[in-house]
Amino acid sequence: MAHYAVVNPATGSVVKEYPTIGDADLDSALARAHAALGPWGRGTTVAERAEIIRRVGQLHEQRKLELGEIIAREMGKPVEQGVGEVEFSAAIYEYYADNAETFLADEPIELLAGEGTAIIRRSPVGVLLGIMPWNFPYYQVARFAGPNLIIGNTVLLKHAGQCPESAAAIEQIFHDAGAPADAYINIYATNDQVSTLIADPRVQGISLTGSDRAGAAVAEQAGRHLKKVVLELGGSDPFILLGTDDMDAVVEAAVFARMDNAGQVCNGGKRFIVIEHLYDEFVEKFTAAVTGMQYGDPSAEGTAYGPMSSATAADNLEAQVARATAEGAVLVGGKREGNFVQGGVLMNVDPSNSAYGEEFFGPIAQVYKAADEAEAVRIANDTKYGLGSYLYTNDPEQADRVADQIEAGMVYVNCVGADGVELPFGGVKASGFGRELGRYGMEEFVNKKLIRVNA
């Protein structure tokens, strides 16, 4: 099978294969992106670039049903949820179009000595390489390409091997919106070709969303060639329940945190850590809800969740569960049918179990009992990851105290699914570094140039 292909995970059928780019064509694409820096990054204003990105968002809205149908057959997301992803992507483009001039305005610095002026001027750094994942094919591109194109950088976009159709559709939208063909170029590149691009001096930055293994490989290569990188990697996010007056609402939030996108969300809740006196009630209700949730055809209206993104993804999850249960964990639910996996709950996972330190990228939750607040925080932080986290409590002082102790890039208190275009996204530890979205998403790939003028 080709490196890039649409393989419908619901049926296993190969819909279409796409040829990988040749080395000569790849070098030509890089040369064109590099040559476009002048006319795009310096030959247009921030306002002009922002209006093109605004149009990109509008075209996403106009084509959202078509785009949702594409990823349903690429990676199994129900069409309605795919449409929701497209709508969020459109909002990202609009947000940066609305705020770019403010975010990129010259920033004066008050001099402590001497006369004259000093400012920081934000300008493009050059060609950027984006390496995107399959789980949110439109959203991931939006939060990388939108702000960076407005800055004046140019983009080579290498999407996941199973997302060639959505990758082509995104490129078409950028060009239909008025972005020069050489400012945004979709490339069907291999990993070896990605390494070649990272080594090339014309590439000035790399953004990757993916596994911690992929992030380590890219960071190593980028460091060798002195390239800036932004990495959004895996997560094993804790969902901590310390107190509530409405258990049903907490369970509903917990189910969404684990089952959204068939559990294939980097910052989805994966480890549910429950204070002892609430543990039995939570486990009973949560297990019933997760195991009772019905998967189905992603193209059908009202489907709760679809298949795993691929046979490989389902195989990997099945192997993780098998190891965990062989090492003493107890599984409720989690049955597999083709690439569809029933929601499941793992209990009795102790630190000696391999599952304790792994990210489960699928609809399988782990549940832990904590004797008190301190133990809950210890379990939450006892992971190599540090992307997001969720905390439920009806004590405001406890909320502030515990949120401050959680080792993660994001803490959501008494809410799930509260991401916003204005809120920075990113992690610490093995979950990567750098931020996307919000103002901070426009601060990663800019030259913060000092201009000091004497009186």
According to the model, what pLDDT value does residue 1 have? 53
**Catalytic site includes residue 232:** yes
Q: What letter does residue 21 receive in the DSSP assignment?
A: P
Whether the Cβ atoms of residue 215 and residue 233 lie closer than 8 Å to each other: yes
> Does the domain spanning 237-384+388-420 belong to CATH 3.30.420.40?
no
Q: pLDDT value at position 455?
A: 84
Class level of CATH domain 4-234+431-454: alpha beta
The answer to whether the 4-234+431-454 and 237-384+388-420 domains have the same CATH topology is no
Annotated active-site residue in 266, 373, 436, 444: 266
For residue 76, which phi and psi values (nearest 5 degrees)? Answer: 85, 10
Whether 110 and 187 have beta carbons less than 8 Å apart is answered as: no
Domain ranges of the chain: 4-234+431-454, 237-384+388-420
Report the alpha-carbon distance of residue 413 to residue 394 in Å, rounded. Answer: 10
For residues 364 and 332, what is the distance between their CA atoms, to the nearest angstrom? Answer: 9
DSSP per-residue letters across 151-192: HT-EEEEE--TT-HHHHHHHHHHHHHTT--TTTEEE----HH
pLDDT on residue 56: 98
Based on the residue annotation, tell me whether 107 is a catalytic residue of this protein: no
Q: What pLDDT sits at residue 452?
A: 97
Active-site position among 232, 359, 436, 444? 232
Residue 116 carries which side chain, given as an amino acid letter? G
pLDDT digits (tens), the chain, 455 positions: 569 999 999 999 999 999 999 999 999 999 999 999 999 999 999 999 999 999 999 999 999 999 999 999 999 999 999 999 999 999 999 999 999 999 999 999 999 999 999 999 999 999 999 999 999 999 999 999 999 999 999 999 999 999 999 999 999 999 999 999 999 999 999 999 999 999 999 999 999 999 999 999 999 999 999 999 999 999 999 999 999 999 999 999 999 999 999 999 999 999 999 999 999 999 999 999 999 999 999 999 999 999 999 999 999 999 999 999 999 999 999 999 999 999 999 999 999 999 999 999 999 999 999 999 999 999 999 999 999 999 999 999 999 999 999 999 999 999 999 999 999 999 999 999 999 999 999 999 999 999 999 98
